[in-house]
């Protein structure tokens, strides 16, 4: 009987392992330095709410974890695979490592909207492929697994930087923007209901239309400049980590004009 050379067996095993690794989707996202992630998360909130808010950091192996327990009912974290990922019919073929936006929720939002982010992070950490995750989340939305907020409330996104999908209902294009704003829960509110203005203007507008929609009010030029000044060092650190997180040189551009 012919003996199989050990080196041949070893080569076959290595080849199989490499092939399996290439076929396996990359599910994890590299975490930010912990102190930077906490600072970035808290930048979503106005100053008077930061000290007593609950803050979360992303553990790529598990999902979001509490970094500091708060007492004022507000919750802040940095979204990496957010709720807009599950909009539209475009296929989610990969977990982008450049999506990043600080967001906060009050008590009502934490019970409703925030669950989407946390559930997605946990499934991603467990190895759920991107396309499957989007399908699961869209099915949950259709079945009503995620309730709309039980009352009017607010989600602050006052950070000087965000990078995410700029029109997720239509495409997977992303943008980096300097756009501090406040979001109010607006279930089933249409742009016509509020006389919505142009994206990027001072009039409010509506995003993520439906039961989990938001009405957005942008901060003014003066307020935005003050936030940018406060977080100069944080912005420099982010820009050094990834070019996509560098702010546009212009004070303001419509996301469509900056998509990449």
- Kindly report, residue by residue over 3-57, the tens digit of the pLDDT: 545 544 444 434 444 444 334 445 678 899 999 999 999 999 999 999 999 999 9
Q: Identify whether 154 is part of a domain.
A: yes
pLDDT at 20: 41
pLDDT at 22: 39
Residues 6+ apart with CB under 8 A from 76: 41, 42, 44, 45, 50, 53, 54, 55, 56, 102, 103, 104
Q: Identify whether 99 is part of a domain.
A: yes
For residue 74, what pLDDT band results from cuts at 50, 70 and 90? very high
Considering only CA atoms, which of 257, 124, 127 is closest in space to residue 179? 257
The structure's pTM equals: 0.83
pLDDT at 191: 81
Residues 6+ apart with CB under 8 A from 7: none
Query: Which domain range does residue 231 map to?
Result: 6-258
Q: Identify whether 1 is part of a domain.
A: no
What is the total count of domains within the chain?
Answer: 1
Task: Give CA–CA dist 131/16, Å, rounded.
Answer: 24
* 68 bridge partner residues: 55
pLDDT digits (tens, 9 = 90+) for 140-197: 999 999 988 888 899 999 999 999 999 999 999 999 999 999 999 887 778 888 787 6
Task: Give CA–CA dist 100/40, Å, rounded.
Answer: 10
């Amino acid at each position: 009987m012919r003996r199989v050379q050990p080196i041949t067996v070893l080569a076959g095993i290595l080849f199989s392992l490499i092939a399996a690794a290439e076929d396996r989707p990359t599910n994890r996202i590299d975490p930010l330095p912990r102190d930077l992630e906490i600072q970035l998360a808290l930048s979503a909130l106005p100053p008077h709410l930061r000290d007593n808010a609950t803050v979360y950091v992303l553990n790529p192996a598990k999902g979001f974890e509490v970094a500091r327990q708060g007492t004022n009912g507000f919750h802040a974290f940095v979204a990496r695979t957010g709720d807009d990922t599950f909009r539209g019919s475009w296929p989610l073929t990969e977990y982008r490592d450049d999506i990043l936006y600080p967001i906060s929720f009050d008590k009502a939002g934490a019970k409703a909207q925030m669950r989407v982010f946390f559930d997605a992070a946990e499934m991603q950490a467990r190895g759920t492929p991107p396309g499957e995750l989007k399908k699961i989340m869209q099915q949950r939305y259709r079945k009503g697994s995620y309730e709309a907020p039980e009352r009017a409330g607010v989600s602050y996104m006052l950070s000087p930087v965000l990078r995410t999908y700029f029109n997720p209902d239509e495409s997977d294009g992303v943008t980096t923007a300097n756009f501090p704003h406040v979001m109010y829960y607006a279930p089933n509110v249409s742009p016509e209901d509020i006389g919505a203005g142009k994206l990027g203007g001072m009039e409010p507008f509506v995003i993520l239309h439906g039961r989990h929609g938001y009405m957005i009010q942008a901060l003014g030029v003066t307020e935005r400049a003050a936030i940018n000044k406060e977080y100069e060092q944080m912005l420099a650190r982010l820009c050094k980590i990834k070019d996509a997180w560098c702010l546009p040189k212009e004070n303001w551009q419509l996301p469509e004009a900056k998509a990449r």
